Structure 1
Amino acid sequence: MQIKETLAKQVLTEAKGYLDVGFTHSLNPYSGCAFSCLYCYVREMPIQRFKDLPWGEWVDIKKNAADNYGNEMKKLRRKTKPVNIFMSSATDPYQPIERKAYITRGILEAMIECPPDFLQIQTRGPLVKRDIDIIVQLKEKCNVLISLTIETDREDIKRVFAPYAPGIKQRLKVVKELHDAEIPTQASISPVLPFTPEFPKALEGIVDHIWIDTLNMGDGSMGKRSERLGMPKLFRENGLERWDQPNLHVKVEKYFKKYFPPEMVHVSKNEAFPR
């Protein structure tokens, strides 16, 4: 793993494309991601395509991210528009290096002084529970949602598609801890991977929202990036073809609405920003 410290020109990026349905900015404390999920659409983005090292083998630490955030927010607050932040869109704010680097925590501390209107933390890292104390403080100043990626309830499936990502049981445990701390939580079933009929029951009582997305709808190119990454082939090689179909989101939404109120279940881009 190549780890470098960098000085970022800015840390808030104007939301476009997938996130422009309610989010105004994305915030990435790092470039690169050690979780190295095989389906990650960032593998097909310029930040990786023009990199000499493979995705998952490098991480750049944005050393000045917290200072940048404070300065950029002061400028944004001169305007009357709300600031709704998605953290993160091209990395994981709680990947292993955060245990030592504290970049994400530093940003959250800066948010206490200059909060956004809404913050969604998107992660699959159980390390987020370390920051429950500061997230509780931040919740008093702005709307906060912690969204844990839980794309399946099957550990064997996770090992096929995301072998270096944290275990599913760990993530479920952390979601419960966050929910018990009265922090709004979301299970991001994104992308949908093969799961057991018991999956909804594992989420009952520990999440406030369910967010469903698929490799066909959620990779930013209607499945083309996922195809270039070899996902259809990976499904076939593991006998999972029936889980790789254009209308999968319809079936999954219908199934989860058997267990959760309709207003709790959101689907893909048009419902990415929680109502």
Structure 2
Amino acid sequence: MKRVVEVNYTTPSRILTATGGFLSGYSHSLNPYTGCSFACSYCYVRKSPVGLFRRQEWGTWVDIKQSSQEKLKREIANVKKKGKEVTIFMSSSTDPYQPIDYKEKRTRHILEAMVETPPDFLFIQTRSSLVTRDIDVITKLGDKVRVSMTVETDCDSIRKRFSPYAPPIQARLKAIRKLRESNIPVQVAVSPVLPFTNQFPKMLSKLVDRIVIDDYFSGDGSHGKRTEKLNIKELYDEGERKLWYGKQTHQHAFQLFQDSFNREQILFSQEGFLPG
């Protein structure tokens, strides 16, 4: 499914942003874009300043950050001159692999800059198979990188209900296989947990040896308050709400995944997104 997305170009003064809160384990976050055309219904950014101040519907606009490569190299170098580590979470308020990145290659250029001036660690959070385009660059970062692929469910019908503009589930699974075949550290983020079948854990266990489970109440940065304002509960049918919407959802998911993963392979919320 496609929609009309307004695209603009901006020139920010800085590329790296100092972190805190949920991302306090990192020194910086990096968002190659502002806005996100995947427009997931549950995205907490809808109710954050970047989503509210624009006064446009979330998912209908994307700003492309220009002149990012040289700025990034200078910023990384400047932080390291001070004797500090540079650990980067990409991205916290957008997906670094926006559909427009097929053309713009903004994220690829950023990765190329990191190869020249590497951070101490880079965490790439995405739900797009476009990440496989950059395998040749990502591998040059060696053990200083991890890719986290969001796969909230194994049911594409559920995906279409909650995030109809996001990439299909099968495309993401195929991307994970390619990343693993290239020996790139990769995990699956079941984040947020959406209704899935009993076969989902076993299927993922054949692809990765590390997953992170997260829910609205732990992962939206406000203990579920932002999600409640989005009325996400209304997208669940009555039979789904008891198991799949609530503070106990991650516990239900844990029980199902423990049949296919060892306990140490299953991380919860913030711990699953930390460096290393």
TM-score range, shorter chain: over 0.9
- The question of 1:91 aligning with 2:94 is answered yes
- The question of 1:55 aligning with 2:55 is answered no
What is the DSSP-based 3-state SS (H/G/I as helix, E as strand, rest coil) of the residue aligned with 1:148? strand
Question: What is the CA distance between 1:71 and its match in structure 2?
Answer: 1.1
Aligned position for 2:273: 272
What is the DSSP-based 3-state SS (H/G/I as helix, E as strand, rest coil) of the residue aligned with 1:9? coil
Aligned position for 1:14: 18
Q: TM-score, normalised by structure 1?
A: 0.95
Q: TM-score, normalised by structure 2?
A: 0.95
Question: Which AA in structure 2 matches 1:253?
Answer: F
Q: Is the 8 A contact 1:33 1:95 kept in 2?
A: yes
Question: What is the CA distance between 1:274 and its match in structure 2?
Answer: 5.2
**Please, which runs of 5 or more residues in structure 2 have no aligned partner?**
none
Q: Going by fraction, where is helix more abundant, 1 or 2?
A: 2
Question: What is the CA distance between 1:55 and its match in structure 2?
Answer: 0.5
Question: Which AA in structure 1 matches 2:160?
Answer: R
Over residues 58-85 of structure 1, what are the superposed CA-to-partner deviations in whole Å (9 max), with x where a residue is unaligned? 0000011212211100111112232111
Whole-Å separation in 1 of the counterparts to 2:26 and 2:275: 10
| Alignment partner of 2:126 out of 117, 123, 128 | 123
Aligned position for 1:149: 150
Q: Is the 8 A contact 1:36 1:56 kept in 2?
A: yes
Whole-Å separation in 2 of the counterparts to 1:117 and 1:204: 29
| 1:172-191 equivalences in 2 (<5 Å) | 172-191=173-192
Question: Which AA in structure 1 matches 2:153?
Answer: T
Q: Is the 8 A contact 1:36 1:162 kept in 2?
A: yes
Q: Is the 8 A contact 1:153 1:199 kept in 2?
A: yes
Aligned position for 1:73: 76
Whole-Å separation in 2 of the counterparts to 1:46 and 1:274: 26
**Please, which runs of 5 or more residues in structure 1 have no aligned partner?**
none
Aligned position for 1:107: 110
Whole-Å separation in 2 of the counterparts to 1:247 and 1:143: 34
Whole-Å separation in 2 of the counterparts to 1:48 and 1:245: 24
Question: What is the CA distance between 1:258 and its match in structure 2?
Answer: 2.1
Question: What is the CA distance between 1:219 and its match in structure 2?
Answer: 0.5
Question: What is the CA distance between 1:215 and its match in structure 2?
Answer: 1.0
Over residues 123-150 of structure 1, what are the superposed CA-to-partner deviations in whole Å (9 max), with x where a residue is unaligned? 00110010011111122xx521111000
Q: Is the 8 A contact 1:212 1:267 kept in 2?
A: yes
Runs of 4+ in 1 over 6 A off after TM superposition: none
Aligned position for 2:229: 228
